[in-house]
Structure 1
Amino acid sequence: MQISDLPYPDPGVPDARSGPRFLWWLGRGQLGGQARSLAWGLLHFCGVAGLPYAVGLGVGAAVDRDGGRLLLVGGLLLVVGAAIATGDAMLHRTAVTNWITAAARVQQLLARKTAELGSALTRRVAAGEVVAVSTGDVEKIGWFVEAVSRFLAAAFSVVAICVGLLFYAPSIGVVVAVGVPVLALSVLPLLPRATRRADVQREKAGKATELASDTVAGLRVLRGIGGEELFLDRYRDASQEVRRAAVRSARMWALIAAVQVLLPGALMVTVVWYGSVLVLDGRLAVGELVAAFSAVATMLYPLRHFEEIAMAYSFSRPSAQRAARVLSLTRTDETPDSVPAKPVEAPAPGGDLYDPATGLLAPAGRFTAVVCGDPDVAGRLAERLGGHAVHPGDGPGAAPPSVLLGGVALDDLALDSARGLVLVQDKDPVLLSGTLRELFDVPASGAVAAREALAAAQCGDVLDALLQAAPDGVDDAMDARITERGRSLSGGQRQRLALARSLVTDPEVLVLDEPTSAVDAHTEARIADGVAALRAGRTTVVLASSPLLLDRADRVVLVHGGRAVAAGTHRELLRGEPRYRAVVTRETDGETRSGEELTEIEESA
């Protein structure tokens, strides 16, 4: 796999049962890249391992005044140097490729999972954790994946140096062969504590990221109520906790680094002292002592990779665990490692939408309004109507049955098919930056033009505002740019643009959750008429409690206690259903409405 080949045509199905399993799956998916990196690493480190022996041979040739042998050693040093340089350059190239391709694979998997779960993702995982996984965590995961091959090559070179010394200078090679394993294993007792501190740092950093994300998202509201400084102080406290945790983690890694310097230094001193004694006793040649000293000095370089692989695993394991947690989420109650059933064929057009869990029925081609007393219940119901079944871990008991469209379970359909049939717009839709024309460049049937959708959503003043703020030369409001998340627009303007975008797609079933909560009553009434006219003959479900919307609906359903308990027109339910009246008119306990008051409410609607 080359970087130019990214993104992957198919990133595959990950093993998300645990963090280590996910790392192992990533490594197996890049065996070709790992093999190339290992091969170049072996060339590089074998050159490093051969360098001290070449130096020792050169010193021996110089002591013996053997010019021919000295020339041979010079040629050997050239070969070793070329191997070191070439291997290092290509090792870096292949290692970076492994790093980027692993990170890209994880990002593709996360993007695919986000598209699969939709708005249900942030109900199951904190937004800050999703941000942390998709940014910093993918780099740490890629770091470990690419570090494995370099570590294996370094370990091979260390073994080669020790074995070579045992044959080249057995008397001093024994000391090196005994000391090197001690060096390699010396940091193991410190790793658990370093890992725990790294985990604490990651946890606190994730919470700080989540707090920052929530603060930025609600900055406009915070400024309006004067709570900006309060949340800023909270973020300062959270960032200071992250700093303190990072310092504690860095101290432990500094201690590990110090051990990695101290013990090799002690081994080097031991080799020089003991080798000098052997040279004075005539049991070791000067060239052999130089070779042994050079081998120990050279060994410090590959030994650094032992520390690096420990750090890479300690940092990547919690990152991989977080990524596996997100990737293990499913639309249905199937386990992550189960084999999903083959998707069924899409239902024929014109089928009713039915939710077995609540008993809600939205007849085909009708404008159905749904009234829930709890906004959170309404949000979860909207997700279910779009085919986002509740995961067993998200609530008590077994997962409820899937919503049916034309008698076919949405959860049994292929994801793209289900999304094409049922479109859900939640109460907080997001507008991406770009031109208005790009905003409406979405998969659609083509039956509804952007101008028609904008008119139905009453976006005339929005178009005027965008055109006034556009630079000179922009004469068409469709070419005007929208800032990030539409922050330059008011909440009502963003909501109407999002509604128009949903209308353009013209799905078979359109589910809208409080689509007019941020607009005034006059605009709301006109939007209700526009949506009803534009969606005539198409199934539309609106979750709302506004009498202006409810009165335009062909059918109104009251959901109470998780069940559909009443259905009829708005005026019928207003007169005959006290629970409905309590939600719609905000009637408190003990209050009753006279017939004249109900008539006034109906007339105002």
Structure 2
Amino acid sequence: MQIRDLPFSDPGMPDARSGPHFLRWLGRNQLGGQLKSLAWGLLHFGSIAVLPYLVGLAVQAVVDRDGGRLAMAGVLMTLFGIAIALGDTMLHRTAVTNWITAAARVQQLLARKTAQLGSALTRRVAAGEVVAVSTGDVEKIGWFVEAVSRFAAAALTVVLVCVGVVIYQPALGIVVAVGVPVLALAVLPLLPRATRRADHQREKAGRATELASDTVAGLRVLRGIGGEDLFLDRYRRASQEVRTAAVRSARMWAVISGVQVLLPGLLLIVVVWHGVHLARQGRITVGELVTVYSTVTLLTYPLRHFEEIAMAYSFSRPSAKRAARVLSLQRTTHAGGGLPDSTETPSGDLYDPATGLLAPSGRLTAVVCGDPDEAGRLAERLGGHAAFDDAEELPSVLLGGVPLDEVPLATARTAVLVQDKDPVLLSGTLRGLLDVPASGAVSADEALRAAQCADVLDALAQASVDEAPLDAHVTERGRSLSGGQRQRLALARSLITDPGVLVLDEPTSAVDSHTEARVAEGIKELRKGRTTVVLTSSPLLLDRAERVVFLHEGEVAAVGEHRALVHSEPRYRAVVTRETDEERAPGAPHDIRAGRKSGTGTDIKTDIKTGIKTGTDIEETA
């Protein structure tokens, strides 16, 4: 596999039972690259190991005043020097190729898993952990895969050199053969502590990164309530904890590096002392002493790879464990029925057996849940890709009588599109943002008008004077836009796709009431004759729905039109108007209850409650 051949047409099915199993699976899938790297490594290290013998041969030729042997030694040293350079160059080339291809394979596997699970992925794994796996962890895994071949070549070279020294000069060779394994294994008792400290450092760094991300994402709110200093102090403390953990980890690795320098030095002293004693007795020649001494000196180079593989494995093991955890998540399917081998897209009524929710085909259905988390879970489940590994197994949602969990994932997502309450805008041009797979029945202009994005286009046109609004650049996650603008752009993107069933989870939660009314009318007009499910508690959206379903404690409690349910169902009215227990009491002041129902009182009191909750959350977090 060459870098130019990336990405893989099929990254394969990983062995995600554990971190070590995953690392072994990666190694097996790159066996050809590992063997190439091993061969070049043996050429490199083997040529280095031959140099001491040639140096000893040259020294002995000088002692014996033999010009022919000296010339031969010089020619051989030149040839092996070229071999060392060639082996080192190709070893680096093939090892880096192994690193990049391993990292690319892991990234493709993670991307495929993310596409399969969708937004349901973050229900099992924190979003920060997914980001950490796909960035820093991928590099650490690639480092270990790259280091394996170099370590194998170094280890084989060390074994062969020890055997050769014993054969060449048994009196000194025994000392070398006993001392070198001690050098290689001396750091093993220190590795567990070094690994624990490295894991502790990564944990602290992850918490600091998560805190920084949360602070940046909520900067506007923090400025509004004066919470910048509070979060700045928290980040300072978190940063100092990371620094302290990094220093403690570095100290441990410094001790390991010191041991790798100290012990070879002690071995050299022993070899020289014993060798001089043997030379005085006439048992070895000066050339043989120089050869053994040079061999021990040069062995410190391949021995350094023992430390590298220990570090690479220590850092990659938790990374591989996290990657395996993400890759082991599966989309649950239920036995019986379905069209697993069919490419035909199902259509018809959308029905959720778990709650009893029915969204008739071709109609705009609004769903009201008292619990926002319940609404989010319902939206994911309606897409047919949210329920997996749940403690309580839920029946599959049916579309036209076909279980969505049993339909191929690509077909299910063609049939049902789910837009969650926090959609993501990728950086790029607005034209690229709206260039999504679609039926072609809805143009970009129609979708933008329905989502009331005129002010967004004006803002982008002002920011990019020389470009058309559709060619204007949208920053990462749309941070240059307001929350309402981002939400409406995401809605326009969903409307362009024109799916058979569109599920919207709180599509106007960040939009003012005047714009919200126009958005509600735009959705109704553009989606006429198409199945649309809106999970919301906004009276403006509910009033324009053809059918309203109220869920209480996970089951359908009432079905009807918004105005009728407000008068006939107290629990529905309490959710939609945000009535408190005191306001629902028969003796509550009429102006409070009237203000609540009018919408103005609702918005004001909701804003007050939101501000109090935000401040409370910050105080509790601090």
- TM-score class, shorter-chain normalisation, is over 0.9
The residue that corresponds to 1:353 in the other structure is 350
Q: CA deviation at 1:328?
A: 1.5
Supply the distance in 2 between the matched residues of 1:124 and 1:330 (Cα, whole angstroms).
Answer: 11
TM-score between both structures, scaled by the size of structure 2: 0.92
- What CA distance in whole angstroms lies between the structure 2 residues aligned with 1:203 and 1:581? 46
SS in 1 for 2:532: strand
2:516 counterpart of 1:524: yes
State the shift of 1:121 in Å.
2.2
Paired amino acid for 1:544: T
Among 413, 437, 455, the alignment partner of 2:407 is 413
Q: How does 1:16-95 map to 2 (within 5 A)?
A: 16-95=16-95
**1:187-234 alpha-carbon deviations (Å, 9 max, x no partner):** 111111111111111222222222222222222222222212212221
Which residue identity lines up with residue 377 of structure 2 in the other structure? R
* 1:348–1:406 CA contact under 8 A, matched in 2: no
User: Could you tell me which residue of structure 1 aligns to residue 576 of structure 2?
Assistant: 584
Q: Which amino acid aligns with 1:153?
A: A
Q: CA distance change for structure 1 residues 289 and 446 in 2, over 3 Å: closer, same or farther?
A: same
Q: Which residue of 2 aligns with 1:212?
A: 212
Q: Deviations over 1:413-454 (max 9, x none)?
A: 222211111111111112222222111101111000011111
**Deviations 1:103-146, CA, capped at 9 Å, x for gaps:** 11111112222222222222322222222212111111101001
Query: Counterpart of 1:337?
Result: none
Q: Is 2:447 aligned against 1:447?
A: no
Matched residue SS, 1:289: helix
| Counterpart Cα distance in 2 of 1:599 and 1:266 | 87
**What is the Cα deviation at residue 554 of structure 1?**
1.1
Provide the secondary structure at the position in 2 that maps to 1:402.
coil
CA distance in structure 2 between the aligned counterparts of 1:399 and 1:164, rounded to whole angstroms: 64
SS of residue matched to 1:551:
helix
**Is the Cα contact below 8 Å between 1:347 and 1:408 reproduced in 2?**
no
Give matches, 1:280-429, under 5 Å.
Answer: 280-332=280-332, 343-345=340-342, 350-392=347-389, 397-429=391-423
Task: Quote the residue 2:549 is aligned against.
Answer: 557
The answer (yes or no) to whether the contact 2:377–2:386 under 8 Å persists in 1 is no
| Compared CA separation, residues 165 and 239, structure 1 to 2 (3 A) | same
* 8 Å CA contact 2:365, 2:548 repeated in 1: yes
Partner deviation per Cα, 1:562-596 (whole Å, 9 max, x = no partner): 11121111122222212111111222225158999
Conserved 8 A contact 1:440-1:501: yes
CA distance in 2, matches of 1:520, 1:221: 17
Letter in 2 for 1:357: A
1:483 and 2:475 correspond = yes
> 1:484-522 CA deviation, whole Å, 9 max, x = no partner?
222222211111111111100100110001111122222
Secondary structure at the aligned position of 1:392 is classed as coil
* CA shift in 2, pair 1:346/1:509, >3 Å: farther
Cα contact 2:577–2:596 (8 A) shared by 1: no
- Does the 8 Å contact 1:362/1:368 carry over to 2? yes
Percent identity reads 74
Question: How much has 1:179 moved relative to structure 2?
Answer: 0.7
Amino acid at match of 1:401: P
Measure, in 1, the Cα distance between the counterparts of 2:66 and 2:502.
90
Q: Does 1:456 align with 2:453?
A: no
Using structure 1 for the length normalisation, give the TM-score: 0.94
Change (3 A) 1:57 1:358: same
Matching residue's letter, 2:405: D
Preserved contact between residue 128 and residue 213 of structure 1 (Cα < 8 Å) = no
Answer yes or no: is the 8 Å Cα contact 2:577–2:599 preserved in 1.
no
Partner of 1:496 in structure 2? 488
Partners in 1 of 2:123 and 2:204 — Cα distance? Answer: 20
Paired amino acid for 2:401: G
- Measured after TM superposition, the shift of residue 26 of structure 1 is 0.8
User: Once the two structures are superposed, what CA deviation does each residue of 1:304-339 show, in whole Å capped at 9, x if it has no partner?
Assistant: 0001100100011011111111212223279xxxxx
| C-alpha distance after superposition, 1:165-185 (max 9, x if no partner) | 111111110110011111111
Q: Secondary structure at the match of 2:559?
A: strand
What letter is aligned with 1:175? Answer: V
Query: Residue 613 of structure 2 corresponds to which residue in structure 1?
Result: none
The 8 Å contact of residues 419 and 504 in structure 2, kept in 1 or not, is answered as yes
1:161 partner letter: V
Counterparts of 1:598 and 1:216, CA distance in 2: 39
Stretch moving more, 122-131 or 418-427: 122-131
* d(CA) in 2 for partners of 1:168, 1:350: 81
C-alpha spacing 1:419/1:568, structure 2 compared with 1 (3 Å): same
| Partner Cα distance (2:563, 2:288) in 1 | 102
Instruction: Give the root-mean-square deviation of aligned CA atoms.
Output: 2.2
Specify the SS of the correspondent of 1:72. helix
Between 1:579-588 and 1:289-298, the stretch displaced more is 579-588
1:228-267 to structure 2, matched below 5 A, reads 228-267=228-267
Cα deviation 1:222-258 (Å, max 9, x = unaligned)? 2222212212221221121111111111111111111
